[in-house]
Amino acid sequence: MTADASYDHIIIGGGAMGSATAWQLARAGRSVLLIERFAQLHAHGASHGASRNFNIAYTEPDYLDLVAEAGYLWRALEAETDTRVLDLVGLVNHGAGEPEHHDELLHQHGFSATTLTPHEAQERWPGIRFDTRVTYTPDGGRLNPDRAIPALQAAAVRHDAEFRYDTAVRAIEVAADGQTVRVSTDDATYSAPSLVVTAGAWAHPLLDGLVALPPLRVTQEQPAHFALTAAGAADGAAALVGVDEATQALWPGFNHLAAAGDHRTDWWYSDVYGMLTPGEGVKAGWHGTGPVVDPDHRSYQPEPRQLAALQRYVREWLPGADPDRLVPVSCTYTTTPDEDFVVDRRGPIVVGAGFSGHGFKFTPAVGRMLADHALNADARPMPRFALSRFGL
């Protein structure tokens, strides 16, 4: 084993949250080592692909404030790296579960929003079918993880952070005085006064015996990209994908929200989210309904009934997409019992976990919070994200 090396901070997990934390800590002048089990960009977790909704249409003030901060930090990352990661193509919320006066709540938190009738919305976005009032905000849009994560990593490296890819962590040991953490790989042992763990579906096995975590349910989700139909392309002609600006204007991000307890269990599994992914088609998916999996033994194949139900959804609600021309996507959700995140510290170990399928939009703000905990052992967590809410 090679000689030990010491850093101010070690991070385990080089997906979105770990890379954002490395950026924040490195730009604060700290020495940082990030260790990632897989390659720099991989498809084994939750941080891959070319599109995520930048969904600002929350109703909880904590999340609205956090997504506003995230938007500012995404723009700061773009300026620092000259990389475009956020496209404000707008966002529409519709369905029986869309709360009244949602636009007024968004206004209170500094976002633009308006309410449209189904007819008004249909005229503007013919690729989506509406049967309820629609909340539209131009401040929502689409993020590109395949650009964003390398940009976060490049920004961190510019501030002298070090990354080790294809490197598995074999052991984590906290010194008897609780002041130092030692992390061992096959080739070396590293030490630091603080360790940040952002390992997604692998958080529990890594932290077993070190930090008590709530139950984290790991599921394999299966959204899909659907080809455009004539109703979904600006020129009126069917196309596999439309990437021109006129076609993109026809496709805001969207959330179709059922009333509480009103999911049609014979085929309607959950609320539906989606957006246009330039070059790939219209992405649509159920939220958090995939089968529970071991992240090390996944099939990467869609669950047939849920995929068939998703095709039925597209057939009935997305006239701009072809339900029979699709490419399934496989990713994981790691979900807490209440679907809120874990962002907290125990001793010298900081944990970011359980982002429950809706964390990516918040990435740079979560990185800021994790960095705050790593820099200050006395930093208080947001109550919504504290481990103490689970009695841990």
Ordered by where they begin, the domains of the chain are 5-47+147-215+338-390 (3.50.50.60), 91-139+218-335 (3.30.9.10)
What is the per-residue pLDDT for 3?
47
What is the per-residue pLDDT for 265?
64
What's the burial of 134, exposed, middle or buried (CB within 10 Å: 0-12/13-18/19+)? Answer: buried
What is the per-residue pLDDT for 263?
58
Q: Tens-digit pLDDT profile for the chain (392 aa)?
A: 444 899 999 999 999 999 999 999 999 999 999 999 999 989 999 989 999 999 999 999 999 999 999 999 999 999 999 999 999 999 999 999 999 999 999 999 999 999 999 999 999 999 999 999 999 999 999 999 999 999 999 999 999 999 999 999 999 999 999 999 999 999 999 999 999 999 999 999 999 999 999 999 999 999 999 999 987 887 654 455 545 777 887 899 999 998 776 655 679 999 999 999 998 999 999 999 999 999 999 999 999 999 999 999 999 999 999 999 999 999 999 999 999 999 999 999 999 999 999 999 999 999 999 999 999 999 999 999 999 999 97
Nearest to 199 by CA among 368, 23, 8, 11: 11
What is the C-alpha separation between 298 and 292, in angstroms, rounded? 10
What is the C-alpha separation between 70 and 341, in angstroms, rounded? 15
Q: Which two tokens stand for residue 167?
A: 């490197």
What is the C-alpha separation between 187 and 37, in angstroms, rounded? 13
What is the C-alpha separation between 81 and 150, in angstroms, rounded? 10
